[in-house]
Amino acid sequence: MKKILSVSLIALGLAAFVGFGAYKIFENASAFEEKANPAKAEKPEDKDSPYATKEEEVREQTGTIGGIEYTLKIPENAEESEIVDIMHKMTHQKVRSQDKWGAIPMMPETVQPVLETIQASSFDHKEELQNIAEKWKKEDFSSIDKDHNYFWTLQGGTVGEAYGIMNKEEEEAFIQNNFKQAE
């Protein structure tokens, strides 16, 4: 009986040793592969990012998009849907989203007339739109991705939900690639 117990313990110890050794080999192989191919290993920071690498994501988020409007055009008797569309396009220079179409520069000269139009309106969503525009006027863009998704939802969006906020360098690249003609 003691002999069977001893053999079993030795076999169990040997299996544990072999298992741990295999684990370490695979762990080292993974580290080696990351060193050999850093672009593959460098995943985007956002868990919800649809991109395979951070480099691919940055290229897509900062690249030229269609539907650029260099100047703000608010109709005299603007409807809520027109203001929501303008505000949605303004968010595109700041958010991470798989699909962006249209952009209007986000700057004091565009935020102020939007805010004034909302204040003078009787829109159904006036309070929320005004709160967002006032936040932007104070240059508070800490929840711009949530603002984007609010507009996106109001517009019945199905593709292009924002999943994060671009950093300052990425936003500058977006501006350079999309609004350089406005200068």
- Identify whether residues 74 and 25 lie together within a single domain: no
Residue 41 belongs to a domain: no
- Identify whether residues 87 and 12 lie together within a single domain: no
Residue 91 belongs to a domain: yes
Residue 30 belongs to a domain: yes
- Identify whether residues 76 and 130 lie together within a single domain: yes
- Identify whether residues 23 and 63 lie together within a single domain: no
The residue range of the domain holding 6 is 2-36
Residue with tokens 């298992």: 19
pLDDT tens for each residue of the chain, 183 residues long:
777 767 666 766 666 666 665 566 656 655 555 555 544 444 445 556 666 677 777 777 777 788 889 889 999 899 999 999 999 999 999 999 988 999 999 999 999 999 999 999 999 999 999 999 999 999 999 999 999 999 999 999 988 999 999 999 999 999 999 987 654
Q: How far apart are CA 76 and CA 162, in angstroms?
A: 30
- Identify whether residues 101 and 64 lie together within a single domain: yes
* Burial degree of 61 (CB within 10 A; 0-12, 13-18, 19+): buried
Residue 167 belongs to a domain: yes
- Identify whether residues 67 and 119 lie together within a single domain: yes
| Count of structural domains, the chain | 2
Residue 150 belongs to a domain: yes
Residue 144 belongs to a domain: yes
Residue 44 belongs to a domain: no
